[in-house]
Amino acid sequence: MNRWRPALKLSDSLGFRLGFTLVLALLPLGVLSVVQAQKAQREVAASTLEAIAGASLQAVQPQIDLIKEAQISARVLAAALSDDLGEGESCPRRVAAVARDIPAASLVAFIPMTGMMTCSSTGQVFDFSDQPLFRQMAADAGPSLVFNPEGPVSGTAVVGVGHPVRDGAGTQIGIVAISLPYLSVAPDDYAAPVALWRPAYLATLTGDGRLLVASDPGIDLRTALPEDIDISQLAARSGTPSYHHDAMGDRAVSVTPVARDLFLLAVWEREGTGLWASASPFAPYLLPVLTWLAALMAAAMASGRLVVRHVRQLAKSMSDYMTDRKRIVIPDIADAPREIRRLHAVYEALAQTIAQDEAELQNLLVDKDRLLREVNHRSGNSLQIIAAILRMYRRETSDEALRHVLDGLSNRVIALSSTHTSLYSVTGAHDVPMDQILSGVVRRLKDIHGIAAGVARKDFQALRMPAEAAIPLALALAEIIGCHFAARPDRMEDVVISLTEEDGQVCLSVKGPLVPEFQPETLSGLTALPRRMLHHFAGQLRGAVVIRVNGARSEVDLAFPRQG
């Protein structure tokens, strides 16, 4: 018996279905976790920007404090010099005292409105009358703050803190100028919860976007900035750090005010990003996906341990029982769930019922075989009694025609009895060996007609056919052979009998000397009776009889489709 094995699909497994059910049950929680993760990611991003801006401000804070200190000192020095009316004997002493209080200052000086500096902390004399920054400071009626990428005295980037000096009448007589060197700053790396941020580019800009100092003079400012930032709008971005993503990667831009109209630009780069980083776009989905995967694995393991293994063992036991009737003991069935134990109990009850029914059916088949054998045996005996009665009538009559008729009837009855006797020996099978049945018929007819045992040739294929086809086929052969044996030709060995099968067609063929029963003109009377009986037997087999005459020989073919 071939085992039927359905096509296996992953979606058909119990573990997959339980896991899928858990995924659906956890779907609201997964959506909530995605929303919460996105919110947390936005909060982390905002806090990171604030921290980056704070780190930038912390780095520039000393510079801011220095400028504020210089502005206060310039205002105090201007007030002191207004009492002395600008240049005087006390001027060098006063600017030197301020220079000592601000060691970072490269120059502390009083510059009269003529632009000729003679009072300075360095003792230098310098004419500022042609300097644009001096004219800008002189034109400003109040305190001023100017920037020069290259100071005329120090030659480096400087921040000029100025304050007007006025006489008692309020007329401006000069300017107190404190020149502070402006140095580039480098904030420390900032380790955010999700990545490490490093300052990649630092620059000091004026409000109109003019570059004063850069951490890397070889890099153009436009190249250092993200593509979506306008240089002229940098001052407007002061205090508002932002993220940017372009071909250079993830960057943050922070613009921190240093003083009025002076800003520190810091471009930060993020390191340590990737698919599994917390700042990755996929980060909010990792937790629900991992939760669902864990649910699938847990469902698969639980179903496999608690249910599937018991079901597989039970299915294997059922399959083996259906194949070869072997009942395999299922281990650990007592640990299976209650429903599976009930299914196993039903299976055991069904197996016992099937075994009992099969035993009863086997007994019925044995009884049936015994009854069939008895029926065939008694039928054969009854037919032999009928044949004996016919022979008794033959001996009591002197009419040759009647004797001929009684001989034909007796031969037919004996052939039928021989068939039943052969069936008696093989009863019990679904089909019977036709070569044995037909050989028995030929042998019995030889005995009746007194033909020698070695006369006539047989060529029977070992065909098995249903028992109901054996009787009409055996009777047909008895009619044909009986006609030949009754004629008693001189060369009986020329009779050839064959039984063959080809393409589902069975053919019984008898070749022998031409006898009156098979002549074409024999159409009526007792001589035509065998021909009509052959057509009757062929009809029972759903076949046809063909008689061919070739000179002194005839060939009778009975062809019919194979049955059963």
Residue in 235, 187, 209, 177 with CA at minimum distance from that of residue 63: 187
Query: Whole-angstrom Cα distance, residue 101 to residue 76?
Result: 12
Q: What is the pLDDT of residue 179?
A: 85
How many residues belong to the chain? 564
Q: What is the pLDDT of residue 283?
A: 62
Cα–Cα distances in angstroms (integers) from residue 103 to residues 69, 130, 180, 181, 266, in the given order = 11, 28, 10, 11, 27
**Contact between residue 152 and residue 26 where contact means Cβ atoms under 8 Å apart:** no
Mean pLDDT of successive 10-residue segments in the chain (564 residues)? Answer: 51 67 75 76 77 77 82 86 68 86 86 86 84 79 77 68 84 86 66 68 75 74 79 76 77 80 79 52 69 73 72 77 74 74 81 84 78 74 83 83 78 72 63 84 79 79 84 86 74 79 91 87 81 89 91 90 78
Which CATH code fits 455-467+476-564? 3.30.565.10
**Contact between residue 292 and residue 23 where contact means Cβ atoms under 8 Å apart:** yes
Q: What is the pLDDT of residue 2?
A: 46
Cα–Cα distances in angstroms (integers) from residue 177 to residues 71, 78, 97, 128, in the given order = 10, 9, 14, 11
The class level of CATH for 61-181 reads alpha beta
Query: Whole-angstrom Cα distance, residue 549 to residue 155?
Result: 140
Alpha helices in 176-306 (DSSP H): 221-224, 283-303
Geometric angle at alpha carbon 196, from 195 and 199, rounded to 5°: 135
Q: What is the pLDDT of residue 197?
A: 73
Domain residue spans of the chain: 61-181, 455-467+476-564
61-181 and 455-467+476-564 agree in CATH topology: no
Name 251's Cβ contacts closer than 8 Å, sequence gap at least 6.
200, 226, 243, 244, 245, 267, 268, 269, 270
**What is the reported pTM?**
0.45
